[in-house]
Amino acid sequence: MSTVTARSATAPVLPMLARQSYAEFVKLFRVPAFSVTSIVLPTMFYAFIGLGQAKEPLFPGSAVTFGEYFLASMALYGVANVMVLGFGISLANERGQKQDLLMKSTPLPAPVFFTAKALSALAIALISIVVLGLFAAVAAGVQVDASQWLTLGARAMLCSIPFIGLGFALGYLAGPNSAPAVTNLIYLPTAFASGLFFPLRLLPQLLQNLAPYLPLYRGAQLVWDSVGARTEGGSIATDWLYMGAYTVVFFLLALWAYRRDQGKKFN
Amino acid sequence: MSAPAAELVNTSKRYGEVQAVQDVSFVIEPGEVVAMLGPNGAGKTTSISLMLGTRKPTSGTVRLFGMDPKDLKARSRIGVMLQESGVPGMLRVAEIVELFRSYYPAPLATAEAIRMAGLEEKAKSLVKDLSGGQRQRLYFALAVCGDPDALFLDEPTVGMDVEGRRRFLEEIGALATKGRTVVLTTHYLEEADQLARRVIVIDHGRVIADSTPAAIKARVAGKRVTFSTGTRPDESQFAGLPLNSKQIEDHRVRLLTNEPEQVLRELFRRGVEIQNLEVAGADLEEAFVAMTHQQTQT
């Protein structure tokens, strides 16, 4: 068995990661139920809700237009949507089809698998922002300068990271049949309650009190701030701190959910 | 001296109340082609899962190429086909083979793996559009694409059509002649006989036989002798007869034997009243079931 000892013991990680990321991306992209809703939905909301009142001030006397506010809102909505629904539903489905069984017996390291999943979702999130940005600039004539575009894009992408953890956690906690309902039930109301569709001051007092503790609200402040559309007071530093804390909490939750699932199946 | 391809030492596995594998020990040397044979629920899949490290033994030790089966270095040397495992439907056949190749240090060419599985015409199809048999062939392509030293195949031919099965058996034969280790589970003795030089028979979580297919066949082949008796037969009437198995239900007697003439001569001599005598070749499945049945009773 000299041929056995001559070759290296395991495959190189980077080409593996590249292939895996490509496969994960293609898997998501080729499911219209996912790719269309992820990429087109934020833009569609923008067309339905934002377009008509794009030039109007956010509220009387505000220097910020509704168009700017809603652009930032939908950018965040889109990326977090990819993470929560992309991971949540696709992971739950993969588990339902026992895809993890075969993967588990290959020499693919689990961290490579998860990194690839995260990268593929980030890529789709980026596409959703670009599509939305192009639409807002061309159709709605939203004018923000280049540095604002970049800040908005970068912040939206960064703010999507805690939701990767949340998506993973939901994917391992929800069953394949309940995943779409569960993820939507969690995601849509919190998006609404965080003021992504209507400025917070138009919402009931209860929600206004609750909002500052929601991760999407903190993310929203950061993206609004990048186009000068910050709706509430408070500092960016606090917002980042909250996002950091949510990242830790959601990833720990994901890890716990993953271990729980693995313990059930592979013990 | 290279480490055994797979090794179980006094291994037991319990799922809650169910004792799936009970104190099993065996060694599979590199280059061996081994069939694990047994009825459904006998513990074959659990044994494979233990060797792959996808299940942890409740007690005992399992090694894969002398390593912990979870070790990626060990996993890099094996390819697997599992029952009921899923693959991403939205990837094309060639794409998923490419993907799985990237997990292994010295893989086969994609086209070669696809050829071995007989999926050349389906290389560009989406996985979700494959038929059951084609999907099974895809699993085979994924198992061999890493050019592994050892293959673990759990019920590999289930769902394959005749042509797929023939080709599959040929490819396994070719791998065996190249010195690859093959461990497969099946409940077809024929398949085990065709492929393997060693058969491990498992029933109720225990190894009840471990020898060549010929020896196993000698134990299970033979004739089925069935008859009724006027009076309820007495156990002592069958004492000392060369029987592989014996089933008595009321007045109906079913015997499996390799020497039906001698058995019948002796029964007549002992004055057993025999009616409705039938002597037929025992089919292998039946003989096999009889053998496992007999073992658990002794």
DSSP state of A106: S
For chain A, the residue count is 267
**Mean pLDDT over residues B129-158, rounded?**
92
CA B179 to chain A, closest CA, distance in angstroms equals 9
* Mean pLDDT computed over every residue of chain A: 87
Distance from CA of B55 to the nearest CA of A (A): 5
Q: Which of A17-31, A241-255, B217-231, B262-276 has the lowest mean pLDDT?
A: B217-231
**Residue A183 CB-density burial (10 A; 0-12 exposed, 13-18 middle, 19+ buried):** buried
pLDDT in tens, B242-286: 887 788 888 888 888 888 888 889 888 888 888 888 887 665 566
Note the pLDDT of residue A153.
92
> What is the C-alpha separation between B216 and B213, in angstroms, rounded?
5
CA of B168 vs chain A CAs: smallest distance (Å): 20
Per the CB < 8 Å rule, is B95 touching A108?
no
Percent of all residues in chain B with a pLDDT value above 70, rounded to a whole number: 93
pLDDT at A3 over 50: no
Which of A4, A18, A106 comes nearest B75 by C-beta? Answer: A106
Interface of A with B (CB under 8 A): 1, 4, 7-11, 15-16, 18-20, 23, 26-27, 30-31, 94, 97-99, 101-102, 104-109, 266-267
B240 vs B32, more confident: B32
CA distance A212 to chain B (A): 40
A128-151 average pLDDT score = 87
A-B C-beta contacts closer than 8 Å: 96
Confidence of residue B296 (pLDDT cuts 50, 70, 90): very low
Look at residue A141 in the predicted model and tell me its pLDDT. Answer: 80
CA distance from start to end of chain A: 33
Please give the mean pLDDT across all residues of chain B.
Answer: 86
Q: Is residue B230 exposed (0-12), middle (13-18) or buried (19+ Cβ within 10 Å)?
A: exposed
Interchain CB distance below 8 Å, A102 and B87: yes
C-alpha A130/C-alpha B171 separation (Å) is 49
* CB < 8 Å to B90, chain A: 26-27, 30-31
Q: Minimal Cα–Cα distance from A263 to chain B, Å?
A: 10
Q: Which residues pair with B281 in a beta bridge?
A: B223
Query: Which whole-number Å values give the CA distances from B279 to A33, B236, B245, in the listed order?
Result: 63, 22, 14
Q: Has residue A138 got a pLDDT over 70? A: yes
Confidence of residue B290 (pLDDT cuts 50, 70, 90): low
From the list B239, B233, B238, B186, the residue with the least C-alpha distance to B213 is B186
Is the CB of residue B170 less than 8 Å from the CB of residue B146? no
- Write the secondary structure of A45-67 as one string of H (helix), E (strand) and C (coil): HHHHHHCCCCCCECCCCCCCEHH
Q: Do A1 and B30 touch (CB under 8 A)?
A: yes
Q: What is the DSSP string of chain B?
A: -PPPSEEEEEEEEEETTEEEEEEEEEEE-TT-EEEEE--TTSSHHHHHHHHHTSS--SEEEEEETTB-TT-HHHHTTEEEE-TT----TTSBHHHHHHHHHTTSSSPPPHHHHHHHTT-GGGTTSBGGGS-HHHHHHHHHHHHHTT--SEEEEESTTTT--HHHHHHHHHHHHHHHHTT-EEEEEES-HHHHHHH-SEEEEEETTEEEEEE-HHHHHHHH-SEEEEEEESS---GGGGTT--EEEEEEETTEEEEEES-HHHHHHHHHHTT--EEEEEEEEPPHHHHHHHHHHHHHH-
Instruction: State pLDDT tens for residues B146-189.
Output: 999 999 999 888 878 888 888 888 899 999 999 999 999 987 77
Q: Is the dihedral of CA B278, B280, B285, B287 positive or negative?
A: positive
What's the CA gap between B156 and B80, in Å, rounded? 10
Amino acid B220: pLDDT:
66
CB atoms within 10 A of CB B287: 21
Q: Say if the ipTM goes beyond 0.95.
A: no
pLDDT computed for residue B121 by the predictor: 94
Rg of chain B over all Cα atoms, to the nearest angstrom: 22
- Per the CB < 8 A criterion, the answer to whether A173 and A255 are in contact is no
Categorize the per-residue pLDDT at B298 as very low, low, confident or very high, splitting at 50, 70 and 90. very low
How many angstroms separate the CA of residue A86 from the nearest CA in chain B? 15
Structure tokens that stand for B175 in this block: 């791998």
Per-residue pLDDT at B34 = 94
Confirm if A249 and A161 have CB atoms less than 8 A apart.
no
Chain B residues inside the 8 Å CB shell of A111: none
* Angle, helix A32-45 to helix A110-138, in steps of 10 degrees: 40
Alpha carbon distances (Å) from A188 to A77, A132, A158, A214, B240: 9, 19, 20, 13, 78
Q: How far apart are CA A24 and CA A86, in angstroms?
A: 11
Mean pLDDT, residues A228-243: 83
Contact B99 A109 (CB under 8 A): no
List the B6-15 sheet strands across, edge first. Answer: B18-28, B6-15, B59-64
Instruction: Give the pLDDT confidence score for residue A74 in this predicted structure.
Output: 93
Specify the 3-state DSSP secondary structure of A246: helix
User: What is the model's pLDDT at position B284?
Assistant: 54
> Rounded to two decimals, what is the model's pTM?
0.83
pLDDT at residue number B142: 95
Residue type at B39 in one-letter notation:
P
Of B54, B80, B142, the CB nearest to A266: B54
Q: Cβ(B257)–Cβ(B263) under 8 Å? A: yes
pLDDT higher at B250 or B297: B250
Taking residues A185-197, what's their average pLDDT? Answer: 88
Confidence of residue A1 (pLDDT cuts 50, 70, 90): very low
Query: Quick one: how far is CA B127 from the chain centroid?
Result: 27
Tell me the C-alpha distance between B192 and B108, whole Å.
27
pLDDT for the residue B292: 63
- Tell me the pLDDT tens digit for each residue of A99-129: 888 888 899 999 999 999 999 999 999 999 9
Q: What is the pLDDT of residues B56-106, one digit of tens each?
A: 999 999 999 999 999 999 999 999 998 878 889 999 999 999 999 999 999
Q: Do residue B106 and residue A7 have CB atoms under 8 angstroms apart?
A: yes
* Model confidence pLDDT, tens digit, residues B13-47: 998 888 899 999 999 999 999 999 887 788 888 99
Does the pLDDT at position B112 exceed 90?
yes
Phi, then psi, of B39 in degrees rounded to 5: -65, 170
Cβ-defined contacts of A202-206 (< 8 Å, 24+): none
- pLDDT-above-70 percentage for chain A: 96
Instruction: Give the residues across from A67 on adjacent strands.
Output: none
Tokens of B259: 């020497």
Reported confidence tier of residue B297, pLDDT bands at 50, 70, 90: very low
B156-189: buried (b, 16+ CB within 10 Å) or exposed (e) per residue?
Answer: bbbbbeeebbebbbebbeebbeeebbbbbbbbbb
- Mention every residue, 6+ apart, whose C-beta is less than 8 A from residue B151: B78, B79, B80, B81, B143, B144, B172, B175, B180, B181, B182, B183, B184
The answer to whether A242 and A218 are in contact (CB under 8 A) is: yes
Residue B70, CA atoms < 13 Å, CB-side half-sphere: 8
The answer to whether the CB atoms of B72 and A107 lie below 8 A apart is: yes
Sheet with B243-249: strands ordered across: B243-249, B252-257, B223-229, B274-281
Q: Which residues of B fall within a CB distance of 8 Å from A15? A: 102
Rg (CA), chain A: 20
